[in-house]
């Protein structure tokens, strides 16, 4: 698959109703005010051992970052592929660099 074909496939993915439903669901569950995220964080912060609570909260936050990265990857990959498609700008004149 060429880079152009990959870009078109990813662009199609981002507008597909199934992706939109999935991305919305992920936001509702694991976004900044997500139900699953807040429930997991509340559970961790209610632990009696402060060190365990902090450790578990960090793990939950790290998991949320992974989820955010996965959801944002198609858009970031499209941007990367678009940059790769652009011809390199000429940085020197015909006479060469100074």
Phi, psi (deg, nearest 5) at residue 74 = -55, -45
For the chain, how many structural domains are there in total?
1
Assigned domain for 58 exists: yes
Assigned domain for 34 exists: yes
> What confidence category does residue 98 fall into, taking pLDDT thresholds of 50, 70 and 90?
low
Phi, psi (deg, nearest 5) at residue 21 = -65, -45
Specify the pLDDT at position 96.
60
Query: Which domain range does residue 57 map to?
Result: 3-79
The pLDDT tens digits of the residues spanning 19-56 come to 999 999 999 999 999 999 999 999 999 999 999 999 99
pTM for the whole structure: 0.78
Assigned domain for 36 exists: yes
Separation between Cα atoms, residue 5 and residue 11, nearest integer Å: 10
Tell me the H-state helices in the chain.
Answer: 3-15, 17-30, 35-45, 50-85
Specify the pLDDT at position 89.
54
For residue 59, give both structure tokens: 């793990």
Assigned domain for 97 exists: no
> What confidence category does residue 79 fall into, taking pLDDT thresholds of 50, 70 and 90?
very high
Separation between Cα atoms, residue 50 and residue 66, nearest integer Å: 24
């Amino acid at each position: 698959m060429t880079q152009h074909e990959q870009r078109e496939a990813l662009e199609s993915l981002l507008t597909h109703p199934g992706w939109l439903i999935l991305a919305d669901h992920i936001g509702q569950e694991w976004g900044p005010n997500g139900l699953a995220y807040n429930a997991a964080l509340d559970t961790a912060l209610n632990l009696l051992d402060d060190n365990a609570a902090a450790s578990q909260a960090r793990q939950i936050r790290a998991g949320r970052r992974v989820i955010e990265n996965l959801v944002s990857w198609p858009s970031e990959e499209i941007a990367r592929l678009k940059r790769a498609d652009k011809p390199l700008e000429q940085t020197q004149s015909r006479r060469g660099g100074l």
